[in-house]
Amino acid sequence: MEILAYGVESYERPLLVKAFDGHHALRCLDVNLDEDTAVLAAGHELVSTNVNSKADAEVLRRLAAGGTRLVTQRSTGFNNIDLDAAARYGITVMRVSHYSPHSVAEFAWALAQAANRHLPRAIIRTRDFDFRLDGLLGRDMHGKTVGVVGTGKIGEVFTRIAHGHGCELLGWDIAENPACRELGMEYVELPELLSRSDVVSLHVPLTPETHHLIDAAALDAMREDALLVNTSRGGLVDTFALVAALRRGLLGGVALDVYEEEEHFFYRDLSDRVVTDDVLARLMTYPNVLVTSHQAFFTQEAVDQILGTTVRNVADFLAGRTTENTLTA
């Protein structure tokens, strides 16, 4: 049985082919799933998607009409898939419920440190043989207050890293994590976390409740010299409000591995084109803003786990097994 994989990046193709070798035939597409590309899945019962694919009700209807019975996403997040519509059309949806939480947590801390110590600016300068220290003054992380928004698996690892650096810990989540409590974390309401934290790191999924969790009011509540780090989902931050806050001189630094409209830009080489997204272009002009291309997950360990789980999802589906990765059956 042939599996159709959407949105397969150049780095991912050989790894995905190797993962499915000996299991199933695989057809890889470099385009994402959407209303225009759904027709390509006709005759394929098994479809794999990436985080930037669009699987709304209409797309799922077209997949079902073409005979698709399984959509297995190569990510933990699934906010791009209409689960109710999938259930209506008899499509099973599966995901990668977890992979190395260290990959994202370590990258989030690296972003916080890079923003704090102005590393991108320093690297660019020294390449031009400019060895001045003007504008590169950072702060000790030791003793600072770190606010962790979302204390699940990734948030817990991030908390352990911050604890290891001697930071005071604040947390916000719908349910407290006992492991974080043991590290000395104090759980508070979000406005208090924002107002007290020197570093705020986001580790919650994107849901209707968390969409634009960091809006204009939240940004106003933060310390003027605070660092904001987002390695979760772009929609957690109201980017228009963020640009407005930066224009007013708020925030000591911003480090974003995700962006609300990233599907139009990330994982592509646009160096020879004019970027028409005014918000993204404006973000790039601020010297205290660091943007990376949704790469926090990108470690050997995490990628192996993601692809291995995707292969197992197909096997479990064909065997009629429901697992922790099953979102609709």
159-193 confidence digits (pLDDT tens): 999 999 999 999 999 999 999 999 999 999 999 99
Assess whether 222 and 275 both reside in one domain.
yes
Assess whether 95 and 107 both reside in one domain.
no
Instruction: Exactly one of 294, 301, 312, 321 is catalytic; name it.
Output: 294
The count of domains in the chain is: 2
Domain of 46, CATH number, reads 3.40.50.720
pLDDT of residue 263: 84
Active site residue 125: no
Assess whether 197 and 309 both reside in one domain.
no
Q: How far apart are CA 306 and CA 45, in angstroms?
A: 21
Instruction: Exactly one of 106, 233, 260, 263 is catalytic; name it.
Output: 233
Assess whether 272 and 315 both reside in one domain.
no
Assess whether 168 and 313 both reside in one domain.
no
Summary count for the chain: helices (H), strands (E): 12, 13
Assess whether 230 and 111 both reside in one domain.
yes
Q: How far apart are CA 13 and CA 206, in angstroms?
A: 27
Assess whether 56 and 177 both reside in one domain.
no
Assess whether 237 and 148 both reside in one domain.
yes
Q: How far apart are CA 265 and CA 309, in angstroms?
A: 27
Structural domain containing residue 324: 2-99+300-328
SS (HEC) of 85-124: HHHHCCCEEECCCCCCHHHHHHHHHHHHHHHHCCHHHHHH
Active site residue 24: no
Assess whether 159 and 261 both reside in one domain.
yes
pLDDT of residue 329: 79
Q: What is the pLDDT of residues 256-315, one digit of tens each?
A: 999 999 988 898 888 898 888 999 999 999 999 999 999 999 999 999 999 999 999 999
Instruction: Exactly one of 12, 156, 260, 262 is catalytic; name it.
Output: 262
Long-range interactions of 243-247: CB distance < 8 A, separation 24+: 243/279, 243/282, 243/283, 244/216, 245/216, 245/219, 245/220, 246/283, 246/286, 246/288, 246/289
249 CB-side CA count, 13 A: 0
Assess whether 182 and 243 both reside in one domain.
yes
Whether this model's pTM surpasses 0.85: yes
Active site residue 324: no
Average pLDDT, the chain: 96
Assess whether 172 and 208 both reside in one domain.
yes
User: 74: Cβ–Cβ under 8 A, 6 or more apart, which residues?
Assistant: 5, 48, 49, 50, 51, 96, 306, 307, 310
Assess whether 312 and 287 both reside in one domain.
no
